[in-house]
Structure formats: structure tokens, C-alpha cells
A and B are shown apart, each in its own frame.
Chain A
Amino acid sequence: QKEVEQDPGPLSVPEGAIVSLNCTYSNSAFQYFMWYRQYSRKGPELLMYTYSSGNKEDGRFTAQVDKSSKYISLFIRDSQPSDSATYLCAMLRSNFGNEKLTFGTGTRLTIIP
């Protein structure tokens, strides 16, 4: 069993829709939960991170973490064609810069104009 599971999609939604992306994990030691966006032929870029359980909002993006269920989500409101990319969830046990990131497989998202 992989430590982090993510539905690879692909997922296609019309412009303006709300997008929900999810990951589950098995390692209860994970404390930091990240969402990365990766455009084609580019490296991943950090969208947002959450420490422990709770919600975090940044513009059109909301990240949720439920540690009791070992389940994390990313919601994108008012989706735009520029949001079309692969979204990767990633997790750390602690101490950002020193820890290895454990990634999900990524969900390929297409926003249809």
C-alpha cells in the first residue's frame, strides 16, 4: 500500500465550476500537507500548505485536512482554463526543509472554456 493515494483522473470540468481534489494517506506521522501544481514540462510549484488539521484559504483555493480520517482536499472555486495542470498532494513529517516530500500520483485537471 502506498503511503499517499491520489486519484490520477483525468478530471475535466467546465470553466467556473468548483473543483475538488483529494488524497488519503496511511502514515499518521505526517504533519504538513501540501498541494503542488505542475504544468506540462515544468517542475512542481507549491500552491499552499497546511499544518495539522484544519482549513486554509488563499484566494480561489481552499485546502482542508482531516487527520482523524487521514484525508486531505483542495477546492478550486471559479475554475479558470489557466488552472489546467496536474495537482500533486505531498506530505512531510516535520521541519520543511530537511524532510523528504512524499507525493501522491497527481491528478490531471482540465478546465474547459
Chain B
Amino acid sequence: DAGVTQSPTHLIKTRGQQVTLRCSPKSGHDTVSWYQQALGQGPQFIFQYYEEEERQRGNFPDRFSGHQFPNYSSELNVNALLLGDSALYLCASSFSGTGDNNEQFFGPGTRLTVL
């Protein structure tokens, strides 16, 4: 099991551009959550996808959007990039059922730099 994988590893963009980040969940997981981690900060919840729908959303503007595919993989899109969008973007996958075995497993992240 490869665990949660994310691509690309690093990305450099300029202000105003658009970016797409990708995530493949751990085998057996059906829920994908995205987090933004600015330098020196803890991860902040962006949104969560389940059954190809956005189920929860954090306090992020509409420039941040996502998608989940039938194979449970997910994309995070950010439009009109700002300097403040520079961060490590983390994907976490989990199983939607109840119980204590529903740990959210994190991928290694995509480091986005906006110039």
C-alpha cells in the first residue's frame, strides 16, 4: 500500500495564475480532506470530499475549489493566485464509517510558491 500520494511535490507559480494539485487516497479510503499549512503554522482545513461531493468547507474563498473522482482521487484547484497562497498543501484520506479506525492519513504535501 503506497499510502496517500500527492503530485506534484513542488510548484512555482506567479500571481494571478491557476494551479491544480492532485491526491490519491490510501487504499480502502473514500474520503479526502485538503489542508493548507503556511510556514510556521498548523494545517488549516480547506474542504472535504465524499461521494464526489464537497461535504464540509473551511473558511477559504471560492478561489479554492475541488473535485473528487469515482476512484476517490481528488484535485484541489486555486484560481487567481495570491502571494499569501504560498504554503504546503496537504491531502488526508480516511474511511467514512464510524469508529476509532477512521484515522486521517496525510500525504507528503505539495509545496506551492507564488511569486
* A88 lies within 8 A of chain B by Cβ: yes
| B55 contact set on A, CB distance < 8 A | 98
| B103 contact set on A, CB distance < 8 A | 46, 49, 96-97
A contact face: mostly helix, strand, loop, or mixed: mixed
Return the chain A residue nearest B97 by Cβ: A97
A-to-B contact residues, CB < 8 Å: 4, 6, 8, 36, 41-46, 49, 51, 88, 90, 95-98, 100-106
What is the number of residues of chain B that contact chain A, defined by CB distance less than 8 Å? Answer: 34
For window 73-102 of chain B, which residues contact chain A by CB distance below 8 Å? 90, 92, 94-102
Number of A-B contacts (CB under 8 A): 75
Q: With A95-B102, A98-B31 in contact, do A43 and B4 touch (Cβ < 8 Å)? A: yes
B-to-A contact residues, CB < 8 Å: 4, 31, 33, 35, 40-45, 48, 50, 55-56, 58, 90, 92, 94-109, 111
B contact face: mostly helix, strand, loop, or mixed: loop
Whole-angstrom distance between the alpha carbons of A63 and B31 in the complex? Answer: 27
| A51 contact set on B, CB distance < 8 A | 100
Do A104 and B42 touch (CB < 8 A)? yes
Return the chain B residue nearest A103 by Cβ: B42
Q: With A43-B90, A43-B109 in contact, do A97 and B102 touch (Cβ < 8 Å)? A: yes
